[in-house]
A = this chain, B = another copy of it.
Amino acid sequence: MVKIMATGVFDILHPGHIYYLKEAKKLGNTLCVVVATDSTVRKLKHEPINPENIRLNLIKELRIVDEAHLGHKDDMYKIVKETKPDIIALGYDQVHDENKIRLELKKRKINAKVVRLSEYAGGSDLEGTRRIIGKIISAYEFQKCMEKIEGK
């Protein structure tokens, strides 16, 4: 059995997420997904749209996912130690530095390979989320504009 770990925020699911998870699972048999906590999301990127429990529960509903967990707040290696993946699969556009992760794993005597996955033809994961957010904001701006012309 080869256990693969995939990680992410998974706020508003889109095809880029599914591609990433499928590519990750191709590397082995069991897919373990680590969902970033709200505090980690805030630290790294932005305010999450959906809170961590909602993001985690949706990930658990995906057929491809064998297990899913929230990460830990201040130590990304703690969940690796707990779940013991054979391979950590990084998405094409995830900001992690592979070599730094490899070094830190070695330091902690964690025996997991780090693999960087290929790009999704439909654009990056972040682009997927941005596309959805962009469409929502355009619709909102359009409605405000129409209200100015037509009245509320």
By a beta-carbon cutoff of 8 Å, the part of chain A in contact with chain B is: 12-15, 18, 46-47, 49-50, 54, 57-58, 61-64, 132-133, 135-137, 139-140
Contacts and interface: CB of A to CB of B under 8 A. Distances in A.
Contacts of A135: 49
A132 to B, nearest CB: 6
Contacts of A133: 136, 140
B58 A18 contact: yes
15 contacts: A12-B12, A14-B50, A15-B54, A18-B57, A18-B58, A18-B61, A46-B139, A49-B132, A49-B136, A49-B139, A50-B132, A61-B63, A61-B64, A136-B136, A137-B137
